[in-house]
Amino acid sequence: MKYPVFILFIFGLIVAGCDPNSQDEYEEYVVLESYIVADRSLPVVRLSRTLPIDEEYSFQNAALSGANVLVTLLDENGDDAVSFNYMQRSQSFNGIYVPTNQDHRVIPRRTYRIDIDFNNRDDELTAHTTVPDQISIINEIPERIEYRGDQQLEIVLSPTERTEAQNRYVFNAIKENPREDLLTPFYLASVADGDSDPEDFANNSSGLINEGNFDIDDEGTTTLLFPWIGVAFFEENLIVINSVDSEMGEFLRSQNVQLGGSTLPPGEIPNVRYNVEGGIGIFGSIASDTVSTFFSRPGIEQE
């Protein structure tokens, strides 16, 4: 069974007052956010604008209406094959655009282009993404695993056809109805210190991981040992495995540096990497599969 992709991006922290070229003078940019998912319907497109650094960012306040959005599937030669029009979801959903064609399923290993202009402003945006090959979990997943026990969660992915030099993954542990009494010790300590709420860990991401960290056999299957640090809650969890394209990979890598995942001093931290011409943001693609398992407390006898 496949579930929706659960990757969280914190655009509000990186677009308020953002200027990729100058830190001295504010300039407004259009922000594009859209994620194509292999074998799913065409994605929602979110359009907003950056706000000055002294204004708190919220999508509602920054959303842009009046956009003309077109997503085009390219053929193997890079020429236009078929285009899909978008419309604003409704008058009450400024900045959110949906495809008029709900039947098309995103084709793995193919390239899509997005083109955007506006009726009420001069900005024109374009971006490309090549969809990763679809991934599948092919091993049997245990129904119960003792947290930090001898048996670590092993996930085996089927062979895929590469669309770039190496595959890159993001793993998410998803907990429905997160509760403090179900938090594992590391995350419980953060909540007890008042630094976080249980809901902050309901979607717990591994961050970007290259396939070089995993075992790949001669047949091309990839074996992952899911890290214990990724388990924020006891009991039933969804484990989502996402293969991301190069645009998403570069965005995530540079975003992690911006949000503190680096030892570089502030003056040497590079800008977030965007693949959008004429604006900022991300038009990326993902292939995804999901399993579930129950993480029991240590020392609790298995039923």
Q: Where are the domains of the chain?
A: 12-132+243-287, 144-242+290-296
Among the listed residues 258, 302, 245, the one whose alpha carbon sits nearest the alpha carbon of residue 5: 245
Q: How far apart are CA 246 and CA 96, in angstroms?
A: 25
| pLDDT for position 5 | 54
pTM confidence score: 0.82
What strands, in cross-sheet order, belong to the sheet with 215-216?
154-157, 222-225, 215-216
Pairing state between β 280-296 and 144-146 = parallel
Q: How far apart are CA 303 and CA 273, in angstroms?
A: 49
Report which DSSP code applies to 278: T
| pLDDT for position 225 | 85
pLDDT along the chain (303 residues), means of 10: 49 48 74 94 95 85 95 95 94 90 96 97 96 94 94 91 80 93 95 90 85 79 88 95 85 56 44 80 93 90 53
Among the listed residues 135, 132, 130, 164, the one whose alpha carbon sits nearest the alpha carbon of residue 222: 135
Q: How far apart are CA 197 and CA 194, in angstroms?
A: 8
b/e per residue, 167-191, with b = 16+ CB within 10 A?
Answer: bbbbbbbbbeebeeebbbeebbebb
Judge whether 209 and 168 are in contact, CB under 8 Å.
yes
Contacts of 74 (CB under 8 A, 6+ apart): 80, 81, 110, 111, 112, 113
Judge whether 84 and 100 are in contact, CB under 8 Å.
yes
| pLDDT for position 273 | 65
b/e per residue, 284-301, with b = 16+ CB within 10 A?
Answer: bbbbbbbbebebbeeeee
